[in-house]
Amino acid sequence: MKKKIIITIIVILTIIILLLFFLKPIESIKDINYTAEISIVDENNEELIHLINNHKTTPINLQEMHPKNIEILLNIEDKSFYKHNGFNLNRIFKTINSNIHNNQSYGASTITQQYIKNVYLSSEKTFWRKLKELYYAIKLEQVATKDEILTNYLNCVYFGNDIYGIGNASKYYFNKSYKDLTIKEMTTFVALLNAPTYYSTNLDKLEEKKNSLLEILFNDGIITNAEYLEALKPVEFKINKQIYNSNLLFFTDALLNEYDNIHLNPKFNEKITIHTKYQKEMNEIKVTTAANYASIAVDKDGYIISLIGNKDYYESAFNIATSGKRDIGSTIKPILYYEALKCGYSVNTTYYSAPYSFDYHNEKITIKNNASIYPYKNIGMKEALATSDNIYAIKTHQALGFKTLANHLKKYNIEAQSLPSLALGSVGMSLKQLIRIYTQFFTEGKYLYLKYIDKIFIDDKLKYTCEDKYQILGEPIHFKTIKELMTGLFSSSIPHATASSIAGLLKTKCYGKSGLTDFDSYMIGFNDAVLVGVWAGYLDSQELTDLETKRLPKELFVRLINSYLSPSHSA
């Protein structure tokens, strides 16, 4: 009976394979809506990160891999790889026979089939899934070279611990290039392939598996006796978790969210190339500090060219810059003064700045300046902005009516209570929202839509170009006026200007506004080409008591805006 079952299965399978093999090849295999590869590139068309099946990987050059290591892989996984057409009929028959007689489960998949399964199909063990796997493997072999298939397999295969591809695995497990893997290390990786989740968390069992494979390799004549004995020594891992730049990972995650909403529907085996305006120099900045910090840099067209979502992606992938909601402090004052100009104020409107109290709902409220520094004289709007004078802000807020500023913020879909403290920034928003509001001062009137993606190519054909989008939500002349007033922040001629200490470090004329609360510190500013916003504080709302954290946004602002002016940008 078993013999009849085997013969029947073999006959049916042979017919199916012959039909699949002789069907007309599909050009570039474009018969399903799915893409395996995405390459994200910077402003200079240099690759930032590579993804296969949405997993980050580092592409390898097969020619740079040691031939012995390739031989080790193929001897264990697919001896006839360079001879078959995507499937190994003899291996399939042996597997069927073994499973029926011994009630055991052995794999019959070739490397081509494993690649197809890993990237395009689910892991469900059904006849139809295996049939699709076989079909696409045959089709892939008809349009791709063996070296291309093997390279793609090595780039996408899973090694446990959320590590995909041998390039990243080499960096993660051994802190070295795939080019330099030893026989022992390569055999360890081949052992991992059998059950990556299990073996990557059970290292004793991984060692046993590695040694059993070494015995096979020695018996098959792949490695010498000396190589066998050397490779039997225990594996020494040198775990390196930080494979990618932390800031790049924040940028990539945000970009992929934007990409998912574009819906291009690429086909099977097509390569996507996403072009950005990302600038490496601005994104290589890292600070050692106990506090959290975040920043965003935007160009005149609204492209996000730099994004620091938090101090270390590997500690926490929470993106404070785009998703955190914090009180914005005195960075609200340019928005308040814009509304004042619209309501008839001039830059020469003055208020006397000294300790100030007033009654509000039968309660006496006292307003103070930072460090209780007052000029004790009438000051105009420029000096009020430069010194972040709270008295001028509150008196303006009172004169306009407390609802005026709250109503203005509704234009940006930001709800705020109509309280006296609103003039001092008692409204929560993300750094990205705040930066977007500041694009109106930066561009003298345009409320920009912020974006990460510039163009998208599919197999080198342009399929998507981002349009420059903006709204006009106010009077450009008033935004321009506030912009010019914001130069005072860096002025040495205005006593206590809040950014005068960094003015000499800046390489170009800048405009800006700082902000400081008990829990948050900000620096928002721009030159003629780039807008930069920086925040520092603690996610658990610790009070800012140290001067270093309070000053951090200004220091990062200098580094960021100056790095934009590096030779590669000024050439």
Question: What pLDDT digit, counting tens, does each position of 522-556 carry?
Answer: 999 999 999 999 999 999 989 999 999 999 999 99
Residue 298 in any domain: the answer is: no
Residue 224 in any domain: the answer is: yes
Of 489, 462, 206, 188, which is closest to residue 334 (Cα–Cα)? 489
Residue 245 in any domain: the answer is: no
Residue 459 in any domain: the answer is: no
pLDDT at 447 over 50: yes
pLDDT of residue 133: 80
pLDDT at 1 over 60: no
378: number of Cβ within 10 Å: 12
Residue 198 in any domain: the answer is: yes
Residue 312 in any domain: the answer is: no
Residue type, 273: T
Q: Could you please report the per-residue DSSP string of 413-432? A: T------GGGGGT--EE-HH
Residue 154 in any domain: the answer is: yes
Residue 188 in any domain: the answer is: yes
260: number of Cβ within 10 Å: 9
482 alpha carbon, distance to own chain's centre: 34
Tell me the per-residue pLDDT of 127-177, one tens digit each, with 9 for 90 and over.
667 777 888 888 888 888 999 999 999 999 999 999 999 999 999 999 999
Tell me the per-residue pLDDT of 183-210, one tens digit each, with 9 for 90 and over.
999 999 999 998 999 999 999 999 999 9
504: number of Cβ within 10 Å: 9
DSSP class of 492:
T
pLDDT at 256 over 70: yes
Q: Is residue 156 a contact partner of residue 165, using CB atoms and an 8 Å limit?
A: yes
- From residue 473, how far is each of 207, 407, 440 by CA, in Å? 65, 13, 9
Token readout for 227 is 């190589």
pLDDT of residue 87: 66
pLDDT level of residue 7 (50, 70, 90 thresholds): low
Q: What is the pTM of this model?
A: 0.88
Tell me the per-residue pLDDT of 333-364, one tens digit each, with 9 for 90 and over.
999 999 999 999 999 999 999 999 999 988 99
Residue 225 belongs to domain with CATH number: 1.10.3810.10
What number is the average pLDDT over the span 26-41?
A: 65
Task: Count how many domains the chain has.
Answer: 1
- Average pLDDT score over the chain: 89
pLDDT of residue 144: 84
pLDDT level of residue 119 (50, 70, 90 thresholds): confident
| Full domain range(s) for residue 10 | 2-27+58-231
- Residue 65, SS3? coil
pLDDT level of residue 28 (50, 70, 90 thresholds): very low
Q: Could you please report the per-residue DSSP string of 72-126? A: HHHHHH-TTTTTSSS--HHHHHHHHHHHHHH--------HHHHHHHHHHS-----
398 alpha carbon, distance to own chain's centre: 43
